[in-house]
Amino acid sequence: MAGYVRQSSAEIADTLTINAVDLNNEFDALVSAFNNGSGNVAGHKHDGTAANGPVIALIGDSGVATPLNKILIDSTNHHLEFNVNVSGSSVEQLKIQDGKIVPTTTNDIDLGTSTLQFKDAYFDGNVTLDGLVIGSATAITDVDTDLSSVSGSDNTVASAKAIKTYVDAQVGGSDLDFSGDSGGSQSIDLDSQSLSLTGGTGINTTGSAQTMTFAIDTGVVVDKTTAQTLTNKTLTTPTIASITNGGTVTIPSGADTLVARTSTDTLENKTLSTPTLTSPVINTAISGTAFKDEDNMSSNSATAVASQQSIKAYVDTQVATVPTGDITAVVAGTGLSGGGTSGSVTLNAEVSAASTNTFTNKTIDADGTGNNITNIENANIKSAAAIDATKIADGSVTSAEFQYINSLSSNAQDQIDLKAPLASPALTGNPTAPTQSAGDNSTKLATTAYVDNSQAARDQLSEMTDVTLSGLADANYFIYDNSASKWKNKAISGAITSNKEGVTTLASGIDATKIADGSVTSTEFQYINSLSSNAQTQLDAKQATIDSSNRLNANLIHDGSVDNTEFGYLNGVTSAIQTQIDTKAGAGFAVAMAIAL
């Protein structure tokens, strides 16, 4: 290896005693050989020479024989290939080749995510897309060039020419037809007349630029936020957020409606937050997450209550494990003598100056007064002794450093010679490295994935070279024209108009079916125009039903001149009243007949 010269080859040999200084000299020489040195000119380079080792052709997961995440250098095809761990297998994702960053599988690699996005994109060429998503809108998949027949979904945009052709055909010399709740159909000549919008009862209008704003007159109409005083109003099932002093609120007296402070009530399905219960009476059963019925008390909770049965079962189990009865004998165990079966009993330890004993897990202070340890043989040192490595040779190697040789499978120097230096390594095979963030302009290592991503972005942006901006007025939206296979500058207008500065204006007279779920037509929506107050409140004040229990007053029929009593006279009539009257004699005829008789 370049820069390395053996230091103690004569001292490190079979049958010889190896001193720490000999090993330290060899290790110091190795460290010096691998040291980068001044100016990055020294050290082990892996530059392909015999002295510096072969070029590294693979960069992969550290510490494994078969890395799953790796960068391979394909010298035959002139590729840099990038593999990642997919479900335990190394799967090639993309490769960098001459002028291209290419995914291994089509339609498989994303550029960014919904949360980790690239900032700006610049292309010099065409960008071919299956769909273009702007904000949260539906993906645009095509450009309509003829608005006489368009897509039924919001997945296309119209070209400027198509919009102009369609608008010119619609508005040129035509009238605007409209109608209100009353007054019949009306029209406006768009070439010579203007439309005025006025508010009805409780509705004010304010015009500004191209916008007409309709506002409720809170002096006439009740709204949701303005503080207003209501007189002679009935609130059906209202929700009252707060009640202030100064008024009177009448509440039902029945216990089925409200819980009174002093009454006795039964509550069902109620949750009491941090209640204080004074002398509570609990009947039947207790339930809830804080009530535990566990014979083994497994929850061990300081905030839960145990059932009577579980407490008894737990105590019975624990008591059963306690031995019962009297001690009948004391028996001497290992290392002890004595014992007995009655009276006072003495146990003696069988350890003396002359005895031979085996100690387990004992510490002998060799430095203590009168203490010394002699005649320790190699066979008497067990692996469990874990002798500190600093007690070997000159003591400069720690136990942690000594342990590094535990996993060596062959000569350490031979393995070190095969590694690349940290400074200016000459790598061979397929080395891997972390992929840097897009746009990172530093001295970090650029992987093929980084280059591939950058090239893909440039290839996509390069497809916009055929876009022509003749002025600021043209810079509205870039729309891809499939028929012309190029990007064009387009403006969006109609019900929604957006200018080049990104300002969007909602035109007046928008179709009501574009509001909410689209089920209300413009005609139906216009019915609220003449409402003077809340529609539901007005409906609630009307007669709900007409039946045997809710009869209609007769004075509500026709002109109201017939009351209920008069209307009741019809009850016994069996045929047309006028016909029956016409068949009767008049009052004068009856008098004349009486005189004649």
Domain membership of residue 306 (yes or no) is yes
What is the model's pLDDT at position 591?
Answer: 39
Q: Is residue 304 assigned to a domain?
A: yes
- Which residue carries 């624990």 as its tokens? 318
Radius of gyration of the chain (CA): 50
Q: What is the residue range of 575's domain?
A: 552-597
**φ/ψ of residue 396, rounded to 5:** -80, -15
| pLDDT computed for residue 589 by the predictor | 44
Q: Are residues 560 and 590 in the same domain?
A: yes
Residues 533 and 563 in one domain: no
**How many CA atoms are closer than 13 Å to the CA of 132, on its beta-carbon side?**
17
Q: What is the mean pLDDT of each run of 10 residues along the chain (597 residues)?
A: 72 80 81 64 68 74 86 86 91 89 89 87 86 82 78 78 78 72 80 79 84 82 79 80 66 60 74 78 78 87 86 86 75 80 80 71 74 71 74 80 78 77 78 81 80 62 51 53 68 55 60 77 80 80 70 76 79 77 58 40
Residue 450 falls inside a structural domain: no
Q: Is residue 413 part of a domain?
A: no
User: What pLDDT was estimated at residue 475?
Assistant: 46
Taking the C-alpha atoms of residue 132 and residue 16, their distance in angstroms, rounded to an integer, is 78
Two tokens, residue 509? 């007279």
Return the DSSP state at 378.
G
Q: Which residues contact 24 (CB under 8 A, 6 or more apart)?
A: 394, 396
How far is residue 221 from each of residues 181, 206, 340, 470, 524, measured CA to CA in Å?
Answer: 19, 17, 105, 53, 21
Q: Would 428 be classed as within a structural domain?
A: no
Q: What's the CA gap between 530 and 183, in Å, rounded?
A: 13
Co-location of 592 and 559 in the same domain: yes
Q: Give the pLDDT score at 480.
A: 64
Residue 65 placed within a domain: no
Last residue of a domain, one of 320, 335, 362: 320
Question: How many structural domains compose the chain?
Answer: 3
pTM reported for the whole predicted model: 0.26
Q: State how far the alpha carbon of 347 is from the alpha carbons of 329, 350, 410, in Å.
A: 12, 10, 56
Name the domain boundary from 320, 339, 365.
Answer: 320
> Is there a domain that residue 583 lies in?
yes
550/105 Cα distance (integer angstroms): 76
Please indicate, yes or no, if residue 529 is contained in any of the structural domains.
yes
Concatenated DSSP letters of 538-555: HHHTS----SSSSPPPGG
